Structure formats: structure tokens, C-alpha cells
Amino acid sequence: MKDLKGKVAVITGAASGFGRELAILCAGEGMQLVLADIDDKNLPGTVALLPPGAQSISVKCDVSKAESVDELAKQTYAKFGKAHLLFNNAGVSPVGPAWSATLADWQWTLGVNLMGVVHGIRSFVPRMLEQKDECHVVNTASVAGLISVPGSSVYCVTKHSVVTLSECLHYDLQLYKASVGVSVLCPAFVNTGIKDSDRNRPAELAGTNPLGKPFEQLMRKAVESGRISATDVARITLEGVKAGRFYILTHPKIKNSIEMRLQDILQDRVPTNMVPGPA
Ligand code: NAD
């Protein structure tokens, strides 16, 4: 999708981090925006950063709920009549060993990171297919969807799922000769609100991993020392969409770790851990 001007972008997780920066860049391209987040208090903060004259609506949406994402689609089509570029971007990141991750950790994270993307696809892709014009879906996974990271089993499960879901979606759309493209965004650590993702955790899914603390500190440090910014990620993502790239890797050095994982599999080795755990 080379020309974005006048088209409609829908962004989940638009109140912070990558979502906010994508909104600013998409508005700069002359797109109309649908900004969605469970944290509707911080959506006006995104709107305030858009260039003057940008057209947007803000919608409170919990991506883990199918009916909430369907309502987002209804509001999008009621306001703008179309959706061209969907960013299934909202995400959360609990940490801690696999055996002590709580059921609430699993339900919350699978709900937002995986089912959020599933709901986005189910609510928007059929409508995009009816539109019959050029559309594109960007699913935010992570390098944690391409390698396995100690202390991040719940997160990695969701992100590996988003990678394969995106690949399957791409194949399916090709089979149907659809004019809907797909990309999967796989960043490494970037300093965003992800280090405090518990802030939007619903009360009914409270109860974090009792062994999570040392991993939380490690993740905070890794995120805060991220070498590229959320603005860089948004820029690389839009460049990827325009160039028709499927895998959008924002941190090229991580390819060594991906290759190591694939070689471990192909050479029948036990997995080589390239990411340090807590001391
Ligand atoms: P962020 O916390 O700054 O932004 C995430 C946004 O998602 C927040 O505004 C939050 O309110 C929203 N959100 C949380 N639960 C929601 C729900 N149920 N419904 C709707 N919105 C919800 O973090 P970010 O880093 O910008 O994260 C964006 C995406 O990037 C996530 O999918 C994350 O997993 C992924 N990612 C982040 C990094 C990183 O290091 N920051 C690396 C790789 C992938």
C-alpha cells in the first residue's frame, strides 16, 4: 500500500507507545484515524499530538472482547465508510517462570495479545474484502514471536501465535486473490509503557506471577535501554507497509538469535539461550 493519503487507519493500543507514534505518522501522511484503546483517558493525549486538521475519532475498546472490537468496526464504518489499514497493536507483557504464571496471567495475556488480533481480523477483514479496494493488516508481534525468552513464556506463546496467525492469514488472502495485504511487526526492546502494562489489567484478572519480580526488573532495564525509539518503530513500520514487507524486523541484529533458534531445530540441538535471565 504505497499511497496512504485520504485512507482510513484503525489503531488499537493508540493511547501509548507504538500506537500513539503510528497515529502521529499516519495523520502526517494525510490519513483519517480511528484511535482505540482500553485506556480512553489517554487517547486525548494522542489526539493532541496529531498535526493540525487531522481527522480522527477515539473509541474506548477492549480488544480481548469480541463485541468491543466489533463495535469498533461499526463505529469506523459509520464515521468513515471504510477501513484501509488496521494495526492490531494493543498488547501487554507479564513476566516470570512458566510454572508459576497464574491462570489470570494466561487469560489476560492470551485475551489481549492473541484474541485481540483474532477479533481484529474477524471484525475488519470481512468488511475489507467487501470494500474490494487495497487494504492492509499489520499485526504487532515481537521478536518474542520468533525466539523464546526466559521468564516470558506467556508473552512468547501469544507472540509466536500472532506470527503464525499472520502467516496463515497471508496465505488465505492469497488463495482468495484478495487485495488485502498483511505484515507482522516484530520489534525487540523499545522504551514504552509496556514495562508497566499491569496498569491496564482488569481487576477480575488480578494476580501476577509470584516469582515475577526479578524478571520485572530485568525487563524494565532492557526496555529502558532500548536503542531505538517508538517513533523509529512507527516509521520503520510505515516504510514496511509501503514497501509491501511481510516481516517487519526493527532490530536487524536479532536475526542472529533467530538463526540460532532455527539451527537448533534443524541440527537437533537443545535450545541455545541468547537472552540473559535475572542474576
Ligand atoms: P504501551 O504499553 O506503551 O502501549 C500498549 C497499549 O495497549 C496501551 O495504550 C494500553 O492501554 C493498550 N491496551 C492494553 N490492554 C488493552 C486492551 N485490552 N484493549 C485495548 N487496548 C489495550 O506498549 P507498546 O510497547 O507500545 O506495545 C504495543 C505493542 O508492541 C504490544 O503488542 C507489545 O507487545 C508490542 N511490543 C512491544 C515491545 C517493546 O519493547 N515496547 C517490543 C516488542 C513488541
> Which pLDDT belongs to residue 247?
98
Specify whether 77 is catalytic.
no
The strands making up 32-37's β-sheet, listed across from edge to edge, are 56-60, 32-37, 8-12, 85-88, 135-140, 180-186, 247-249
Cα(95)–Cα(214) distance, integer angstroms: 9
Residue with the smallest CA separation from ligand 1 atom 33 is 91
Distances (CA, A) of 118 to 111, 125, 137, 160, 258: 10, 10, 12, 14, 25
∠ at Cα 1 (164, 233), nearest 5°?
Answer: 65
196 CA from centroid of ligand 1 (Å): 10
Cα(182)–Cα(29) distance, integer angstroms: 20
Nearest to 94 by CA among 212, 182, 193: 212
226 CA from centroid of ligand 1 (Å): 15
CB proximity list for 203: less than 8 A, separation 6 or greater: none
Phi, psi of 33 (to 5 degrees): -120, 140
Q: How confident is the model at residue 275 (pLDDT cuts 50, 70, 90)?
A: confident
Residue 258 cell numbers, joined: 533467530
End-to-end CA distance of the chain: 45
Q: How confident is the model at residue 192 (pLDDT cuts 50, 70, 90)?
A: very high
90 CA from centroid of ligand 1 (Å): 4
Does residue 237 have its Cβ closer than 6 Å to ligand 1? no
Residue 112 has pLDDT above 70, yes or no: yes
Residue with the smallest CA separation from ligand 1 atom 26 is 17
Q: How confident is the model at residue 132 (pLDDT cuts 50, 70, 90)?
A: confident
Cα(137)–Cα(164) distance, integer angstroms: 14
Cα 24 vs. chain centroid, distance in angstroms?
A: 16
> Which pLDDT belongs to residue 279?
58
Which residue among 200, 201, 224, 231 is best mutated to probe the pocket of ligand 1, counting the most ligand atoms within 8 A of its Cβ?
A: 200
Q: How confident is the model at residue 43 (pLDDT cuts 50, 70, 90)?
A: very high
Residue 114 cell numbers, joined: 492473541
Per the document, the length of the chain is 279
Q: Residues of 191-229 as b/e, b for ≥16 C-beta within 10 angstroms?
A: bbbbbebeebbeeebeebbeebeebbebbeebbeebebe
DSSP label at 212? -
Contact criterion met (CB below 8 Å) for 184 and 141: yes
The stretch 97-111 carries a mean pLDDT of 98
Residue 278 has pLDDT above 80, yes or no: no
Average pLDDT across the chain, whole number: 96
Residue 274 has pLDDT above 90, yes or no: no
Residue 276 has pLDDT above 80, yes or no: no
